[in-house]
Structure 1
């Protein structure tokens, strides 16, 4: 029963291609573990868990590791995006675009010129 309650979390884990995933239900507690590619993906999973179970859910225990701790995430630029829009998405603050620009000076010469399909590093702050 608790597994069906958190099915959206399990589906999200599949979408994010969580590695070494394991799901077990024991005495009414769902135990999940796996490895997310980046901290951002781990945060998305935790946000979904809290959305369903509340701030401190007692019916789920999650052990989610992060494979690449050198970056917060890697982002592929979509048409119509800007560094400030990307910064707002990941950090909640469009002015943090400078951190993204600085982390990608090997690819970017001007913070106002990004192109679709470029892969940008979203740095840990």
Structure 2
């Protein structure tokens, strides 16, 4: 199995995130990828996928992923049925951190219990 085949889920995730200036090559069984992620969340998700496939210190992939916007952790578009608690759980692993998201979006939100589909929320760096 080629390294590219092995790490195809990483490449697919990169496409899903619309990674900019992406480049993928394979030399001597080592997959080399580079690109610019929009946010730290996207970069972290790509690294998590790499580690899921190749282990904690994979030797068959080299990745150079930079970040376009480090001022926020991510920008999230609300989907039907979501709450700030569910969103906080997804990004921070802790639903109780919903207030950090609320505070970062007081220009759009007046009540943490009232969010609507298609709103774009800032997920702040903690």
TM class, shorter-length: over 0.9
Partners of 2:80 and 2:15 lie apart in 1 by: 26
Cα deviation, residue 11, structure 1: 1.3
Cα deviation, residue 2, structure 1: 1.2
> What is the TM-score normalised by the length of structure 1?
0.97
Cα deviation, residue 15, structure 1: 1.4
Partners of 1:107 and 1:14 lie apart in 2 by: 29
Q: Structure 1, residues 40-80: CA drift from partner, whole Å, max 9, x if none? A: 11111111101110011011010000101110000111111
Number of the residue aligned with 1:59: 60
Number of the residue aligned with 1:4: 5
Q: Structure 1, residues 83-121: CA drift from partner, whole Å, max 9, x if none? A: 111000100000100100000000111111111111100
**Matching of residue 91 in structure 1 with residue 92 in structure 2:** yes
Q: Which runs of 4+ in 1 moved over 6 A?
A: none
Any idea what SS the aligned residue of 1:10 has?
A: helix
Number of the residue aligned with 1:75: 76
Partners of 1:116 and 1:2 lie apart in 2 by: 39
> How many residues were matched structurally?
125
> What is the TM-score normalised by the length of structure 2?
0.96
CA RMSD of aligned residues (A): 0.7
Number of the residue aligned with 2:44: 43
